[in-house]
Structure 1
């Protein structure tokens, strides 16, 4: 049940914690009503303002935010040891960029490479769909 006494920042912080220390803005919008009642004339603008101004949150990608105190806990990409691994890493980077662009444009996004790392975050935490739609 949503808690009206929780501040916007506290609700956002809890959403990000529950999502593994980072979350897309779209994920925060979707989950927010589970943590706090949406109040005011422009609650989604308030959420956007909070993630941009509150020092508890750090932007780590296009529309992706992490908890500043937990930046060291985010996954890192392994260094490629061969040309093949370098190609694979480039592929994951492009997938990550496309997911972020899709999220920013308001589209549902999916990638079959859920555990691939882009910008220190698994693609699973960037995409908005957990399964490919039929």
Structure 2
């Protein structure tokens, strides 16, 4: 997911601060709406990732929804990591791609992982979280 409006313009308008970026990236409206329709509350916890992994993937029939939901799933995974893994933080690459930087310095492309999950369900979001949380 490329977020071009966070480029230089974002820096000029104060959007580059960590809290502003985290708030913007945590919205995940389509995923939150879809989860709520299925009775799943997304509370930014690791257990909510497990609940997402259990959803029936009805979105796979619609290419546009699949792409958008995959982006949201990745951003939600990143949100959970940033809020629960000590030292994890959002980083925006120069091309606008949001990634999570771990305290080890490793950068984790959560959007690519979310898109893989939306398409195939593998690897599970909760599994990805567990791998990152152990690092």
For normalisation by structure 1, the TM-score amounts to: 0.27
Find the structure with the greater CA-based Rg: 1
Greater relative contact order structure (CA < 8 Å, 6+ sep)? 2
Higher normalized helix content (fraction of residues): 2
Higher normalized strand content (fraction of residues): 1
